Amino acid sequence: QVQLAESGGGLVQAGDSRRLSCAASGRTFNRFTMAWFRQPPGKEREFVAAIFRGGQNVYYADAVRGRFTISTNTAKNTLFLQMNSLKAEDTAIYFCAFDQGAIVSSVHLPQTYDYWGQGTQVTVSS
């Protein structure tokens, strides 16, 4: 049974940095596609970033490219999201999501992912 648990959220000031973590257990994740999504208040869940099948390719949403960095540890059982130059519009619940069979054209779609964490709130105060 795959379990994902996010941590690292909180209240930050605009311009600050924050690193989110997602601890994964229950499988070997070397070939999984791993992603971060977020859900701003009153909005739909949206794609943030993904690592395709263990790190061959990395993808970012336009809104975060250049400010956020997705990465994993060597064991591929912890996913990170380094968030720099945070803005008020980055305020959201952040979710990690994993999937074993994703294709590259679908990494940005929530329905691609079978496994989800419970989310961690990030609030950016301006």
Would you place residue 69 in the very low, low, confident or very high pLDDT band (cuts 50, 70, 90)? Answer: very high
Q: State yes or no: pLDDT of 101 exceeds 90.
A: no
Average pLDDT for 59-64: 98
CA distance 86 to 66: 11
Tell me: the pLDDT tens digits for 17-52?
999 999 999 999 989 999 999 999 999 999 999 999
Parallel, antiparallel, or unpaired for β 33-39 and 18-25?
unpaired
Would you place residue 54 in the very low, low, confident or very high pLDDT band (cuts 50, 70, 90)? Answer: confident
Parallel, antiparallel, or unpaired for β 120-125 and 10-13?
parallel
Neighbours of 109 (CB within 10 A): 12
CA distance 32 to 79: 11
